[in-house]
Structure 1
Amino acid sequence: MTPVPRAPRASQRGITLFGLLFWALTIGFTGYVLVRAVPTVNEYLTIKRAIEKVAAGQPATVSDARTAFDRQKEVEYSITSIDSKDLEITKENDKVVIAFAYDKEVPLMGPVYLLIKYEGRAKAP
């Protein structure tokens, strides 16, 4: 009796357990960082909208601009990173220009932080 020839084994394809763990950890950590950082981006966009609204009102003096920002800050409860004293208010071509810059530290775990530097500028239309 002669042995029956067997078909060659097809190579296996797929992901290994270590590959699966690597990608799960990578995606999980990226998601964790995003969950921690998105509120700071939301705050930045809120600050930028408030600054643009103040600049569009064409305040007559620097103190008027700061007061208008304080009023916007009372309405927008999510603004906690800057105050009106942190604004740089100037005039360019008879238009009010309001600029701001601040750093935000996002705690990730233990002594590890993510530092995000935000800055913005609003010019009256």
Structure 2
Amino acid sequence: MRGRQLGLSLMGVLIVGALLGSALLVAFRTVPAINEYLAIKRNVKLVAEEGDNGVATPELRRSFDRRRQIDDVVTVSGADLDISRPGGKTVVEVVYERKVPVAGNVSLLFDFQATSAEQ
């Protein structure tokens, strides 16, 4: 009795390779946007802590701008921050979009919201 052969054909290997390649392309293109969001979120929390210590709003914006230069954040600036002080606690929030080109005329659009308020 002949044994049955197992494995992928050449066409199967090409299809699986194309799917894995496209998934990796999307992943590699989105990582910088996610890293920038995490840096913005961290900086927003640090700026809010400074605001809780009595720092004025213009100085908070300058502090964020200094921190964003260190973290290489280019999407958001201190002028984009929404700073409020409900109940004596400083809440810093920023809402922004980031368009990530993938290939040709295909791109991904991310809507980010970073806030210092506990959720």
* In structure 1, distance between residues paired with 2:18 and 2:58: 50
- Amino acid of the structure 2 residue aligned with 1:104: R
- 2:41 matches 1:48: yes
* In structure 2, distance between residues paired with 1:38 and 1:74: 19
- 2:48 matches 1:18: no
Computing the radius of gyration from Cα coordinates, the structure with the larger value is 1
- 2:66 matches 1:62: no
Deviation sequence 1:31-69 (CA, Å, 0-9, x none):
111111101111111111111111111254322221221
CA RMSD across the alignment: 1.7
Consecutive unaligned residues in structure 2, runs of 5 or more = none
Q: So what's the TM-score if we normalise by structure 2?
A: 0.87
Deviation at 1:100, TM superposition (A): 0.9
Q: Aligned runs of 1:89-104 on 2, under 5 Å?
A: 89-104=83-98
Aligned length: 116
Query: In proportion to residue count, which structure has more helix?
Result: 2
- Structure 2 match to 1:3: none
Consecutive unaligned residues in structure 1, runs of 5 or more = 1-7
**Contact 1:54 1:68 (C-alpha < 8 Å) held by counterparts:** yes
Q: So what's the TM-score if we normalise by structure 1?
A: 0.83
- 2:68 matches 1:73: yes
